Amino acid sequence: MKAQALAMLDQGEVNFIPCHHVNAVGPMGGITSASMPMLVVENVTDGNRAYCNLNEGIGKVMRFGAYGEDILTRHRWMRDVLMPVLSAALGRMERGIDLTAMMAQGITMGDEFHQRNIASSALLMRALAPQIARLDHDKQHIAEVMDFLNVTDQFFLNLAMAYCKAAMTRNGNMFGIRVSGLGERWFTAPVNTPQGLFFTGFSQEQANPDMGDSAITETFGIGGAAMIAAPGVTRFVGAGGMEAARAVSEEMAEIFLERNMQLQIPSWDFQGACLGLDIRRVVETGITPLINTGIAHKEAGSGRLAQALCGHRWRALNRRWKHWLKAWGLVEDRAMTIIHPLLASRSAPNYCQSWRLAGVWRRAINLMTESGELLTLHRG
């Protein structure tokens, strides 16, 4: 099977595109295929949607480069057991789940929504559990789903990513951003290799350059920018303690436009999380946006080996931005942010307030028709 897959890749039979190009995101490897169930986060005010695959859980997982029959077995289970149970439970909830309200509660309980999602995953499980209990489904399947949710502390990460969907990503080779108001163009520079706290038996020499779409959380203003909400994460990513967490968030606040009062942080005197990463402030201050991240092994199939706090080569981009900003003649009152244009022009509380689960994709990963329209995702 592996040899057959590699042959298909070599012959150009598989079309690779960034998740961002179809309004989607995926953590680490970001692998998303036609057979995978998807999370759908919807802006109920304006109707726009963002998509993300489901979190695979702990252990050896595809997003960190692991592969084999055990990985395929887990994904078949997610498609055939996890997705139908979650989809049916959500189908009983007329208004879906209000993610803004859930995240507002989760951030007061120590989550920053990138490396720590324990509280929000528990809140999600609490919201789903009564509906799952009422389902006329196989009891063994329900027990398996509840066991999976119980041990998957990062399950909420994928929801948070879709909630934040704008565009900042990395693929293990290049780091790229897209800027609100500048269309679909990617601005890229070589990606850095994170420096982090390694699991026993691993070292920096084995680290793969940073990758994945989960930097979307920092684009929105959480993750590394909200480190003060989750000081316990600082040691996990090798960055220190409480004072280090405060220092990171205070510095990040200098390059964001506003505060998101929907996500008030008790350990920050109830200041709102950052909102609206501004390229002009990055250029003017020289402050590098910091990303809470995981580190994959540089050898495929070896999986995850560390957690880290990572900054990327914004200096290489800064030189271009200074030229572009001058050429465009931008005035001080024009917002130029790395957040979605819809969010830039509307109040934050209305953005991505609910989510539901879509069924298996009916077409290939490139969900674009010849006319350029996004295909409809259906429930299974």
Rounded CA separation 197/241 (Å): 14
Percent of the chain residues topping a pLDDT of 70? 63
pLDDT digits (tens, 9 = 90+) for 345-373: 223 222 223 333 333 222 222 222 233 33
Domain boundary assignment for the chain: 38-162+348-358, 166-344
Per-residue pLDDT band at 203 (split at 50, 70, 90)? low
Q: Which of 156, 166, 263 is nearest to 215 (CA)?
A: 166
Read off the pLDDT of residues 65-117 as tens digits, 9 standing for 90 and up. Answer: 777 788 888 889 999 999 999 999 998 988 888 888 999 999 999 898 888 89
Q: For residue 26, what pLDDT is reported? A: 80
Question: What would the mean pLDDT of 314-342 be, rounded to a whole number?
Answer: 44
Fold classified for 38-162+348-358: Enterococcus faecalis V583 fold (3.90.1710)
Amino acid 359: pLDDT: 30
Q: Which fold has domain 166-344?
A: v583 fold (3.90.1700)
What is the dihedral angle through the alpha carbons of 35, 365, 14, 74, rounded to the nearest 10 degrees?
Answer: -30
Is residue 296 within 8 Å of residue 211, measured between CB atoms?
A: yes
Classify residue 317 by burial, with Cβ atoms within 10 Å: 0-12, 13-18, 19+.
buried
10-38 pLDDT tens trace? 888 878 787 777 788 888 777 787 778 88
Residues 6+ apart with CB under 8 A from 68: 60, 301
Q: How confident is the model at residue 141 (pLDDT cuts 50, 70, 90)?
A: very high
Give the model's pLDDT for residue 268: 92
pLDDT of 308 > 50? The answer is no
Q: 171 versus 222: which is more confidently predicted? A: 222
